[in-house]
Amino acid sequence: AQSVTQPDIHITVSEGASLELRCNYSYGATPYLFWYVQSPGQGLQLLLKYFSGDTLVQGIKGFEAEFKRSQSSFNLRKPSVHWSDAAEYFCAVVGGGGGNKLTFGTGTQLKVEL
Amino acid sequence: EAGVVQSPRYKIIEKKQPVAFWCNPISGHNTLYWYLQNLGQGPELLIRYENEEAVDDSQLPKDRFSAERLKGVDSTLKIQPAELGDSAVYLCASSFSGGAGEQFFGPGTRLTVL
């Protein structure tokens, strides 16, 4: 069965600083990978996804992620964080068994210091 | 275009009482999902519908949880009777059928069981 690990429960960065959120997955074949963001009281919004092809994917709000098969990682990055980026970020994988079954990590809570 | 609609947004009940959550998916989305999100955790799939058919309910605690999706559009998730441990956020999502397409999430219903 597939699984996702987000090693960092909380991260604090200063506004304008760069950001990298880590995600490691476990899945036997090529996974479909996603990053979602959840603001307080809101549902999850898709930031970006990787299915195949170019391993560096661009998403909304200036985010990007890089798929590294050798490291089983799909880390999320942003060159300059804005205060409005403070939220919880979830990495997720769709694996085998069909049916779009998303398996989520436990999330990383991002705090942005002004 | 309207997103996934859920109601109520918040619900407070006493233990052993019944509760129901309602979800209206995005128009044209045949696949509907109910997720459970505990505090500090990522969402976990409870049940997935393809049109009217529940195709994956392996994680639904069937002794107290039930769900229906009449006419393949709106869906209702019910808990009877509720227990203290059911306090969580219940998320509904929808997507087009097939493949591993993007799931669109509603804002969720935050349930508190006293």
Predicted confidence (pLDDT) at residue B106 exceeds the cutoff of 80: yes
Q: What pLDDT score was predicted for residue A73?
A: 96
Q: Which of B6, B41, B46 to mutate to test the interface with A (most CBs of A within 10 A)?
A: B41
Nearest CB among A4, A43, A51 relative to B106 is that of A43
Q: What is the mean pLDDT of chain B?
A: 93
Q: Which of A24, A44, A51 to mutate to test the interface with B (most CBs of B within 10 A)?
A: A44
Q: Report the pLDDT value the prediction gives residue B102, as an integer from 0 to 100.
A: 83
Fill in the DSSP letter of residue B64: T
Tokens of A56: 């560096």
Terminal Cα distance for chain A, rounded: 41
For residue B39, CA distances in Å to B82, B88, B89 come to: 17, 7, 8
CB neighbours of residue A101 within 10 Å = 20
Give the model's pLDDT for residue B98: 67
pLDDT at position A63: 98
Q: Taking residues B56-61, what's their average pLDDT?
A: 91
Distance of CA B82 to the CA centre of its chain: 15
B113 pLDDT tier (thresholds 50, 70, 90): very high
Mean pLDDT across A23-44? 88
